[in-house]
Amino acid sequence: MRPEGQGSLTAAPASRTVVVAGAGIGGLTAAIALAEQRFHVIVLEKAPQLDQAGAGIQLSPNASSVLLRLGLEKHLADHVVTPDDISIIAARSGRPIVRIPLGASAQTRYGAPYWIIHRADLQAALLRRARENPDIDLQLDAPFEDVSLHASGVTVINREAQQQTSRRAVALVGADGVWSNVRHQHFGGVPASLSGHVAWRGTVDAFKLPRDVSQNRITLWLGAGAHLVAYPVRGGALINIVAIVAGHWDRPGWNEAGDASEIAAEFASRGWSAGARKIVEAADNWRKWALFTVEGAGLAKGPVALLGDAGHAMLPFAAQGAAMAIEDAAVLADCLVRQPDAATEAFRRYAAQRQTRVAQVRRTTWQAGAIYHLPAPVALARNLSMKLLGGRRLLSQRDWIYDWRLA
């Protein structure tokens, strides 16, 4: 990768150059996958430096398999945790409902690991991998502004050092997140919709929590209208906590400070068990994140494609948003390398391959939310049926998601 801000942008032929807007998880994965296929990739990132924001992220085997294939094993090895299981608990009684096996069971079943990682560690690993490839040219503080189409591709306009810059390329990939300007400019301005849920995210030093929570596991408490997730990141030193509650707070962004007493009071008023409330009270660095979704934008229009949250932001209840961005990146690079001189047709095939899968996964996120948040007494029936099904059969319900591999 060329030193940031010093790219020689006209050196590579436009016919082999792809511009990616956004250096998040999706944009960096796309850049690595495209550069592996010998495209020259210019990544335009709005932020002056790559963000350390966000907390933990689960990477299911459909996503980890792509990252392994792109050569990220050594970049990720020191940062991932492989949880043994997901322990599901009834929030009010504090009683365990079921354990879904992960660890070696997931590895054997899907041929790839189920990992958890701090988001900043994942982004840093992707960046390190990108830096190994001289065909990736990352421009920070370089927001995408506009695109125009012409017979041989696109002209992309962005801002750099307070000036407008334009570059010709064979295609543009909008990986610029839920508030995507590429979607705004080129896909009819389909807006992000407020979901009515707010995610509160915090971390706690592992030694401050009881061992059954700080162990190598994902713990999920289910309550009426809310759920809570805790899992280790940073090699187990920190426990990542996400609390999802109903709400219409709607500030865009990833990193708004949240008031610890507000979220503690919210959970106290719900009558949750002392164990779950202690977890919420232990975190002191809360961040609030209004959950928005994006639907109906389409994923391709001429030689311009959308990828990840820019095209299909979804609720995080199946832990699949980043996984879908990673799958998108692999499919997009594969389609483009098969038709490098026909980006419009390549992106049409990319959209056709992705649309149904993304819609199915999106439906699963809504279903998961509805099931997680059931009120009593239906929640008792849910708990009983989860118990009767057992962890292995619950895991097998996700086979169609985790089994995905690039065709």
Active site residues: 231
Does the footprint of ligand FAD cover residue 113 (CB under 6 A)?
A: no
Q: Rounded to an integer, what distance in angstroms lies between the CA atom of residue 199 and that of residue 126? A: 25
Q: Rounded to an integer, what distance in angstroms lies between the CA atom of residue 87 and that of residue 100? A: 7
**Interactions with ligand FAD, residue window 342-401 (CB under 6 A):** none
Q: Rounded to an integer, what distance in angstroms lies between the CA atom of residue 318 and that of residue 60? A: 10
In this complex, which beta carbon is closest to ligand FAD, that of residue 291 or of residue 332? 291
Does the footprint of ligand FAD cover residue 199 (CB under 6 A)?
A: yes
Near ligand FAD by CB under 6 A: residue from 325, 331, 336, 343: 325
Near ligand FAD by CB under 6 A: residue from 117, 323, 332, 343: 323
Q: Which stretch binds ligand FAD (CB under 6 A): 22-30, 87-95, 164-172, 189-197?
A: 22-30
Q: Which stretch binds ligand FAD (CB under 6 A): 3-11, 24-32, 261-269, 341-349?
A: 24-32
Contact call for residues 187 and 302 (beta carbons, < 8 A): no
**Interactions with ligand FAD, residue window 278-307 (CB under 6 A):** 289, 291
**Interactions with ligand FAD, residue window 25-64 (CB under 6 A):** 25-27, 44-47, 57-58
Q: Which stretch binds ligand FAD (CB under 6 A): 220-228, 317-325, 347-355, 368-376?
A: 317-325
Q: What are phi and psi of 161, to 5 degrees?
A: 45, 45
**Interactions with ligand FAD, residue window 211-240 (CB under 6 A):** none
Contacts 24+ apart (CB under 8 A), 266-270: 266/226, 267/226, 267/228, 267/243, 270/91, 270/92, 270/223, 270/224, 270/225, 270/226
CA angle 117, 119, 125 (to 5 degrees): 80
In this complex, which beta carbon is closest to ligand FAD, that of residue 127 or of residue 325? 325
Does the footprint of ligand FAD cover residue 175 (CB under 6 A)?
A: yes
Near ligand FAD by CB under 6 A: residue from 7, 113, 308, 391: 308
Total residues contacting ligand FAD by CB under 6 A comes to 34
Please provide the DSSP assignment of 22-69 as one string: --SHHHHHHHHHHHHTT-EEEEE-SSSS------EEEE-HHHHHHHHH
* 8-state DSSP, 208: G
In this complex, which beta carbon is closest to ligand FAD, that of residue 44 or of residue 336? 44
Shortest approach of ligand FAD to residue 80 CB, angstroms? 13
Shortest approach of ligand FAD to residue 130 CB, angstroms? 13
Q: Rounded to an integer, what distance in angstroms lies between the CA atom of residue 135 and that of residue 36? A: 9
Near ligand FAD by CB under 6 A: residue from 177, 303, 369, 391: 177
Q: Rounded to an integer, what distance in angstroms lies between the CA atom of residue 372 and that of residue 67? A: 30
Strand duo 217-223 + 193-205: pairing? unpaired
Alpha-helix runs per DSSP H in 217-342: 260-269, 274-282, 309-312, 321-338
Does the footprint of ligand FAD cover residue 126 (CB under 6 A)?
A: no
Nearest-CA neighbor of 18 among 181, 225, 169? 169
Which residues are CB-contacts of 133 (< 8 A; sequence separation ≥ 6)? 1, 32, 35, 36
In this complex, which beta carbon is closest to ligand FAD, that of residue 13 or of residue 253? 253
Q: Which stretch binds ligand FAD (CB under 6 A): 17-25, 130-138, 162-170, 365-373?
A: 17-25
Contact call for residues 349 and 331 (beta carbons, < 8 A): no
| String of contacts with ligand FAD for each residue 137-166, x by CB under 6 A | ------xx----------------------
Does the footprint of ligand FAD cover residue 76 (CB under 6 A)?
A: no
Q: For binding to ligand FAD (CB under 6 A), which residues are involved?
A: 21-27, 44-47, 57-58, 143-144, 175-177, 181, 199, 201, 242, 289, 291, 308-310, 316, 319-323, 325
